[in-house]
C-alpha cells in the first residue's frame, strides 16, 4: 500500500527545518514532499547585512534539491497556486495538482507594499524582506554613501516584524560612520509601534529603554504611533497620532534613502479560504498548530494567525520569531507522528522567543518565555557580544540547512540547560 503523503508548502526558515524534522519523525510511515517557488533557501536574518554589502547574497544561499534528495524528501519548485483543503489537493504553478493526506503550510507572508502608495521596491523605498530586495537596497545605499542625504527607516502600519527595522537603522548608522559620512546624514526612525521597543510584543525586558538609549547615542530621531500616508520620490508623508487615534502631527520627511518594512498578509495560494484563514489571510490554528476546520492541515511561522497583544492607536502585528517558529515545527512533527500511530495530537509549542538584534558594532538580545505576555521569563541585554553571537548563529544555522539537520543533540542539550524548550510540559 502507498504510504500517506505529507506535503509542506514553503521552504523558508520554518518550512525547510520542518521538512527535515518531520521526515525524521515519520520515516517509514509517510512520504514527505516540499512545494516551494524556488530551488534556493535564503537566510533572511542576514538580509540587513546584504543591504550594506557586509554579505553577498550567495553567502546566505543554500541550493535545496540535492539536500532534499539526500534526506529522501520530495521537492518541487513550481510553487503552489491554490490550496484546496476540502479536496486534500494543491493546485501547482505549472497547472498540475498534488494530492496530500496531511498538509503543513509554511509559506511565509505576502508583502503588502501596495497598501501604502509609493511604498516598496516598485515604489520609492527599499526593503530587506527578501534577499533580492536587500541586494537592490545595497545599490541604493551605495548611492547614498556617494551623495549623502537624509535617511528614513522603519515599519509601516500593520507591520508585524520590527526587529529588522531597528537592526537596519543601527547597521546603516555603523556603516555610514565607518565611511566618515554619518555627519552628513540625518536619520529618522518611523514606526507604527506605540513606543520604541514595543516590537509588537509590548516590549521584552527593557527593550524600550535599551533601544531609546541606543538611538539617542546614535542621533537617530524617531516617530512612534506613525501611519505612512504616502511616499513620493524623495519625500515621505507621515501622520503621527495620539493615543485615541486622532491626528497629532503631520510630518513631511525628505529622504535620499529609505527602508520601510510593510504589513504582511496571507499569500494568494491560501487567501480568502473560508475556515482556513482569517480575513487577513493568515492560517487559523489551534494549540496543536492544527486548523480547526480542516483537521489534516497544520501551519507554522509567519503565515499563522496570532491576535495582537493589545489595542494600539495604529495597527501593530505580532512577530513570529525564529525560535518560536522552530517550536511550532517540533510540535507539528510530534503531532504528525502521533496521528500516523493512530493517536490524537497532544503536543503544544512553547512559542518561546530567543532573539539577537545586531547593530553592526553591538546589539540587543532578548528572551521571552513565552513570546506572548504574560511571561514566565522577560529578559533583555545589550553588548558587543550580540554582534558576534549573530555571526555565529548565521554560520551555525546555514550549516544545519546544508546538512539537512533540524536540531542536533548538542543544541537541544544547550537549550535545555538554559531552561529554553520547544514543547510545553516537556
CB 407 within 8 A of CB 24: no
On the CB side of 86, CA atoms within 13 Å amount to: 3
Indicate left, alpha or beta for 358 from its phi (over 0: left) and psi (-120 to 50: alpha). beta
Containing 87, the helix (H) or strand (E) segment is none
Neighbours of 247 (CB within 10 A): 10
Sign of CA dihedral 410, 335, 20, 200: negative
Q: Residue 24 is placed in which grid cell? A: 525524521
Active-site residue (options: 161, 204, 314, 318) = 161
Active-site residue (options: 51, 355, 356, 368) = 355
End-to-end Cα distance, the chain? 35
CB 367 within 8 A of CB 354: yes
How far apart are alpha carbons 142 and 53 in whole angstroms? 9
How far apart are alpha carbons 237 and 118 in whole angstroms? 10
Q: Is omega for the bond preceding 162 within 30 degrees of 0, making it cis?
A: no
Q: Give the neighbor-by-neighbor strand order of the sheet with 74-76.
A: 74-76, 31-35, 5-9, 102-105, 297-299
- Give the pairing of strands 31-35 and 74-76: parallel
How far apart are alpha carbons 195 and 197 in whole angstroms? 6
Active site residue 303: no
Neighbours of 141 (CB within 10 A): 21
CB 191 within 8 A of CB 165: yes
CB 33 within 8 A of CB 58: no
How far apart are alpha carbons 405 and 326 in whole angstroms? 12
Q: Residue 81 is placed in which grid cell? A: 497556486
CB 78 within 8 A of CB 65: no
How far apart are alpha carbons 411 and 262 in whole angstroms? 33
Q: Residue 379 is placed in which grid cell? A: 529578559
How far apart are alpha carbons 176 and 60 in whole angstroms? 23
Q: Write out the catalytic residue numbers.
A: 161, 355
Amino acid at each position: 500500500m502507498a504510504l500517506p503523503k505529507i506535503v509542506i508548502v514553503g521552504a523558508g526558515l520554518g518550512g525547510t527545518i520542518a521538512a527535515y524534522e518531520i521526515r525524521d519523525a515519520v520515516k517509514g510511515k509517510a512520504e514527505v514532499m516540499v512545494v516551494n517557488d524556488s530551488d534556493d533557501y535564503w537566510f533572511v536574518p542576514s538580509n540587513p547585512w546584504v543591504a550594506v554589502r557586509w554579505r553577498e547574497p550567495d553567502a546566505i544561499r543554500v541550493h535545496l534539491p540535492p539536500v532534499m534528495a539526500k534526506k529522501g524528501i520530495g521537492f518541487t519548485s513550481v510553487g503552489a497556486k491554490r490550496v484546496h483543503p476540502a479536496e486534500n489537493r494543491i493546485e501547482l504553478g505549472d497547472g498540475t495538482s498534488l494530492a496530500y493526506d496531511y498538509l503543513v503550510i509554511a509559506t511565509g507572508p505576502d508583502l503588502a507594499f501596495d497598501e501604502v502608495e509609493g511604498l516598496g521596491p516598485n515604489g520609492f523605498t527599499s526593503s530587506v524582506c527578501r534577499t533580492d530586495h536587500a541586494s537592490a537596497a545595497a545599490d541604493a545605499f551605495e548611492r547614498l554613501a556617494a551623495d549623502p542625504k537624509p535617511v528614513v527607516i522603519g515599519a509601516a502600519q500593520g507591520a508585524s516584524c520590527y526587529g529588522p527595522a531597528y537592526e537596519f537603522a543601527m547597521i546603516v548608522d555603523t556603516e555610514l560612520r565607518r565611511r566618515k559620512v554619518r555627519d552628513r546624514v540625518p536619520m529618522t526612525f518611523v514606526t507604527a509601534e506605540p513606543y520604541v521597543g514595543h516590537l509588537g510584543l509590548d516590549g521584552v525586558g527593557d527593550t524600550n529603554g535599551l533601544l531609546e538609549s541606543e538611538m539617542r547615542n546614535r542621533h537617530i530621531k524617531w516617530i512612534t504611533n506613525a501611519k505612512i500616508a504616502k511616499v513620493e520620490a524623495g519625500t515621505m508623508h507621515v501622520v503621527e497620532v495620539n493615543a485615541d487615534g486622532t491626528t497629532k502631527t503631520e510630518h513631511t520627511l525628505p529622504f535620499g534613502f529609505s527602508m520601510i518594512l510593510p504589513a504582511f498578509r496571507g499569500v494568494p495560494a491560501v487567501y480568502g479560504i473560508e475556515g482556513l484563514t482569517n480575513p487577513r489571510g493568515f492560517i487559523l490554528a489551534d494549540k496543536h498548530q492544527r486548523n480547526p476546520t480542516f483537521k489534516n492541515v497544520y501551519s507554522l511561522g509567519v503565515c499563522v494567525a496570532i491576535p495582537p497583544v493589545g489595542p494600539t492607536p495604529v495597527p501593530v502585528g505580532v512577530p513570529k520569531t525564529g525560535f518560536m517558529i522552530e517550536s511550532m515545527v517540533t510540535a507539528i512533527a510530534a503531532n504528525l507522528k502521533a496521528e500516523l500511530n493512530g493517536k490524537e495530537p497532544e503536543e503544544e509549542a512553547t512559542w518561546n522567543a530567543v532573539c539577537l538584534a545586531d547593530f553592526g558594532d553591538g546589539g540587543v538580545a532578548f528572551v521571552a518565555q513565552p513570546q506572548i505576555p504574560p511571561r514566565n521569563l522577560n529578559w533583555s541585554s545589550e553588548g558587543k557580544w550580540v554582534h558576534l553571537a549573530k555571526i555565529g548563529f548565521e554560520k551555525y544555522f546555514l550549516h544545519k540547512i546544508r546538512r539537512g539537520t533540524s536540531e542536533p543533540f548538542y543544541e537541544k542539550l544547550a537549550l535545555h540547560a538554559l531552561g529554553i524548550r520547544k514543547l510545553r510540559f516537556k
